[in-house]
Amino acid sequence: MRLIDEVGTQMGVVPVKRAQALAKERGLDLVEVAPNANPPVCRILDYGKYKYEQEKQERDTKKKHKQSELKTIRLRPNIGKHDIDVKIRNASEFLKEGDKIKFTVIFRSREITRPDNGRRLLEQIAEALQEHGAMDRPPIMEGRMMSMFMVPKKRTDKPVSEPKETSNAEPKETSNKVEAGSPAPEQAEASPVSGGDSNAENQNQQNGRETIQADGERQTDAQTRVEQPPVSEQSALA
């Protein structure tokens, strides 16, 4: 079996007898927690505490998933104001817990001849409970009784977030406009600089050409002197 100790440490696959010996040495129980696994998984723990935590978890789960119940509240057409307030208070608690309520007005003897009294009573109760519930079925006569159903109100309203404060001051606009007829500052300053650079460059190119031309003329004169043969003294005397 695969063994897990009391602090949750994986101890690997060990024989059953060794797992039982370890649990006995530590004064705890050996509990199989996953019998369908391959190999089965066992844990060394306190079995009494383990069962208590499981039952507590089941109770919490049942509370969270509570099923709605049908509560019945009986009334008389000539009920007093104080009694109506008590019935309304109890009904509001039922609706808050998520239960459905059936209001029943019972008519006796000659009270059946005035069903409007029971209808007005039920409508008054529905109006008083409109914050906690809604009318599922309007008042209807059923023999000598008039009944009305109310269900809890679904809370779909989301909390409204507070609006963020916005400044009413208009944002300052940086204007890059330039008056007509006047050049942009950067362009006005750049123009003479660029013109001076171009003139200096042209002057340098012209000076370079003149230097190259002078060097070429000197080289031509030197070649001419080398190519002419020297004149002998006899030729000169003749």
Residue 147, domain CATH: 3.30.110.10
Q: Do 42 and 75 lie in a common domain?
A: no
Alpha-carbon distance of 43 to 67, in angstroms, equals 35
| pLDDT score, position 38 | 87
Residue 125 lies in a domain: yes
Q: What are phi and psi of 27, to 5 degrees?
A: 70, 30
Residue 232 lies in a domain: no
29: domain CATH number is 3.10.20.80
Domain termination site, one of 152, 179, 210: 152
Which pTM was predicted? 0.41
Residue 84 lies in a domain: yes
Q: Domain containing 14: what range?
A: 2-48
Residue 177 lies in a domain: no
Residue 100 lies in a domain: yes
The stretches of 129-184 forming alpha helices (DSSP H) are: none
Domain termination site, one of 131, 152, 173: 152
**Residues in the chain, pLDDT under 50:** 157, 159-161, 163, 166-196, 226-227, 231-238
Domain termination site, one of 152, 180, 210: 152
The string of DSSP codes covering 173-232 is PPP----TTS--HHHHHHHHHHHHHHHHHHHHHHHHHHHHHHHHHHHHHHHHHHHSPPPP
pLDDT digits (tens, 9 = 90+) for 16-72: 888 889 888 888 998 888 888 888 999 998 888 888 888 888 888 777 666 667 899
Residue 101 lies in a domain: yes
Q: Give the total number of structural domains in the chain.
A: 2
